Amino acid sequence: MDKQADNKLYPIQHYVRIILVISFSALILDFIISFASIAIVKQQSARDLRDTANLYINRLNGDFSYINHFMGWTLANDDNIKLMNNHGTNDTEFIKANESLYRRFVELQKSYDRSYNFFLYLGAKSTMLNIAPMGLSYKEYQELQQQIESYIEDKVIYEKFYSRWSTIPLAGKFYILNIFLYHDNYMICLIAADDLIRPLRQINLGENGYASLWTEDGHLATSPISNKGKPLAVGQERNALWNALQTKTTVNSEFDNASFYVKLVIQFGAFEKIMIAQLLIMLLAFIVACSLSFIMLYFRNKVLQPIKSFSYNLAFWTEDGEPLDAAGSRIVELEKANKQFAQLVRQIKTYKIDIYEREIEKQRIQLDYTKLQIKPHFFLNCLTTIHSMAQMDMTEEIQQMALSTSVYFRYIFQNGRDFVRMEDEIEHVRVYLDIQRNRYHDAFLYRIEGAAAAREAPIPPLVLQTFIENAIKYAVSRDRPSLISLAVECRMIEEESEGMGEETTVVTISDTGPGFPPDVLEKLQRGQPLDQSGGTQIGIMNTLQRLEYLYGRRARVEFANSDGARVTLYLPKQPPNPT
């Protein structure tokens, strides 16, 4: 059993599916590994950058704390501020005190950053002085003075700015502001938001990465540029399609005692490029696998499939059912074998056609024999009737009978076709009934209805005469009058198997006689053959055989007893092969 399992054969599609599944699985696995690797590297990079940002922010927090302490001590203890409050702005003491204070804050700028701007606002004199080199334009300076005066007037300095670093817009640019107050004197420190985070912008955050300051209410406080100097639209990290496709990491860091925070957006395009390169390599391998599968399928369709088809054809046509091996496995030899086999098949088909035609001819001979078998049957009955009339010296009746018989048999002998017109067949039946009325001395009546509706319908000759003859034989009696009816109509009969309608000629022959015997009726309804050993019931069986030969299963005959015998014929209006 194990050996048979090891030697099991599989179609090419099986191996193609295996190749595709392995290639696709490798592609997915590489994507997962690349994604995981990039995620790990990005997390490590983000952690390092977060630590760097925290170191810088901690340093700024220390700077802010020292500057706050320096400004608070200066307001409370520096004699220069007292002198400036006690003298006019044009006095020599005021100017010397201002210069002394200026030199102290210049030293403070040298220790920290020249980007810090320091101002002194004397509330009693409503005067604001810069006490260190100033990096503001005159317009920004005027706007700062106006805002400081408005803050003092509205008394919001202590609540919003006292010893708290906050953002303030000046001439469309954000600055970081801190204010200390003491006895109506205000010490102001101001630095541009861009200058504050300049060291963070020197960190490599990727081609599209950037560092920025954001206010508590979600407004950008720095210029919208990347760390590479590229301009960025506000909110670009949410709207740009390429940035949406790229993976990124955002790091937020808070300041102590401040109303703003730092956001670092890390966006290394190199990671994605590495992943794309790896995916392209795997995609190339996947394409190679698909190409190999295509080649295998092409080889199967162009080489193996013809060999398989040829082998199947050989197996199908051999007498013992065993497949025959091809002489060679090369395509040229296979093509020659196919041609030879095709010629052999044509010869076999010709032989089968000959056999089929012989079988058809045999059936036609049998059909002609059946028709000839019907003709003598009625001929003997006519001779018997004429003989009976001669015994009774019925001269005129004999003449009429002989004339009708000659017309009747002229129709039979001149008609060698399989189908005749319904009008001719009914006229033939009418002549036959007239002959029988002469024989029985008007012992029965007959009625023919609807003949005009189907006068051109085709019908096999002598079919109606057979059932009319049966009615005469079993229904007509000299003891009581009988009625023989023949009704013809055209209907659309639906086929149960095909669900389509077919125009059909329906012929009903009924009499008022005793009807069919129960055993005979049961056999006729079941389609069983009748007993013909006694020479009886030959006409009905021959007629049923003729209908089967001519129509197959398209025609049917129904037998029933209803106040006598009733026979209903359903004949398609279009015969199979009318001749």
Count of beta carbons in the 10 Å neighbourhood of residue 32: 10
Count of beta carbons in the 10 Å neighbourhood of residue 237: 19
Digit-coded pLDDT (tens) for 473-517: 888 887 788 899 999 998 887 765 555 667 889 999 999 988 888
In angstroms, the CA 54 to CA 366 distance is: 112
Can you tell me whether residue 228 is helix, strand or coil? coil
Q: Which of 81-85, 302-306, 378-382 has the lowest mean pLDDT?
A: 302-306
Mean pLDDT (the chain) is: 77
**149 pLDDT exceeds 90?**
no
When pLDDT is averaged across residues 163-187 and rounded to a whole number, the result is 86
pLDDT of amino acid 239: 46
Q: Which of 237-241, 311-315, 361-365, 470-474 has the lowest mean pLDDT?
A: 237-241
pLDDT of amino acid 579: 44
Instruction: Give the helix ranges, DSSP H, for 163-304.
Output: 193-196, 198-201, 236-239, 241-245, 269-299
pLDDT of amino acid 344: 76
**380 pLDDT exceeds 90?**
no
Sign of CA dihedral 15, 17, 19, 22: negative
Q: Which residue has the higher pLDDT, 208 or 578?
A: 208
DSSP 8-state symbol, 165:
B
When pLDDT is averaged across residues 511-529 and rounded to a whole number, the result is 86
- Residue 380 neighbours by CB under 8 Å, 6+ apart: none
pLDDT of amino acid 246: 53
Q: Which amino acid is it at 409?
A: F
Q: Which of 22-36, 206-220, 448-462, 530-544 has the lowest mean pLDDT?
A: 530-544
Q: Which residue has the tokens 């009008």?
A: 423
Q: Which CATH number fits domain 444-572: 3.30.380.10, 3.90.180.10, 3.40.50.300, 3.30.565.10?
A: 3.30.565.10
Structure tokens at 21: 């599944």
Structure tokens at 232: 């960025």
Label the pairing between strands 501-511 and 482-494: antiparallel
In angstroms, the CA 268 to CA 283 distance is: 23
Strands in 113-242 per DSSP E: 117-122, 127-130, 166-170, 173-182, 185-192, 210-215
The H or E element containing residue 254 is strand 249-254
When pLDDT is averaged across residues 179-202 and rounded to a whole number, the result is 86
Inter-CA distances, 428 with 37, 231, 383, 425, 453, Å: 102, 109, 18, 5, 17
When pLDDT is averaged across residues 160-178 and rounded to a whole number, the result is 83
Whole-number percent of the chain with pLDDT over 70: 75
**151 pLDDT exceeds 60?**
yes
Q: What is the pTM of this model?
A: 0.44
pLDDT of amino acid 566: 94
**322 pLDDT exceeds 60?**
no
When pLDDT is averaged across residues 298-305 and rounded to a whole number, the result is 66
pLDDT of amino acid 500: 60
Q: What are phi and psi of 556, to 5 degrees?
A: -145, 160
Digit-coded pLDDT (tens) for 121-142: 988 888 888 888 888 888 888 8
pLDDT of amino acid 180: 85
Most confident of the following: 10-24, 47-61, 127-141, 284-298: 127-141
Query: Please, are residues 142 and 148 in contact by the beta-carbon 8 Å criterion?
Result: no
Write down the number of H helices and E strands in the chain. Answer: 17, 15
Digit-coded pLDDT (tens) for 542-568: 888 888 888 878 888 999 998 889 999
Residues in the chain: 579
In angstroms, the CA 486 to CA 426 distance is: 9
Q: Which residue has the higher pLDDT, 252 or 564?
A: 564
- Residue 153 neighbours by CB under 8 Å, 6+ apart: none
When pLDDT is averaged across residues 214-238 and rounded to a whole number, the result is 71
Query: Please, are residues 192 and 173 in contact by the beta-carbon 8 Å criterion?
Result: yes
In angstroms, the CA 180 to CA 270 distance is: 47
Q: Which residue has the higher pLDDT, 305 or 469?
A: 469
Digit-coded pLDDT (tens) for 265-281: 877 655 556 666 766 77
Query: Please, are residues 509 and 471 in contact by the beta-carbon 8 Å criterion?
Result: yes
pLDDT of amino acid 138: 86
Query: Please, are residues 282 and 27 in contact by the beta-carbon 8 Å criterion?
Result: yes
- Residue 278 neighbours by CB under 8 Å, 6+ apart: 30, 34
pLDDT of amino acid 8: 64
Q: Which residue has the higher pLDDT, 445 or 217?
A: 445
Sign of CA dihedral 379, 383, 389, 392: negative
Digit-coded pLDDT (tens) for 86-122: 888 888 999 999 999 999 999 888 888 788 999 999 8
Inter-CA distances, 169 with 146, 172, 222, Å: 12, 6, 11
Query: Please, are residues 557 and 568 in contact by the beta-carbon 8 Å criterion?
Result: yes
In angstroms, the CA 378 to CA 252 distance is: 118
pLDDT of amino acid 510: 93
In angstroms, the CA 433 to CA 127 distance is: 146
Q: Which amino acid is it at 243?
A: N
Q: With bands split at pLDDT 50, 70 and 90, how would you rate the model's confidence at 576? A: low
pLDDT of amino acid 227: 67
**454 pLDDT exceeds 70?**
yes
Q: What are phi and psi of 496, to 5 degrees?
A: -65, -35
When pLDDT is averaged across residues 444-460 and rounded to a whole number, the result is 84
pLDDT of amino acid 434: 84
pLDDT of amino acid 366: 58
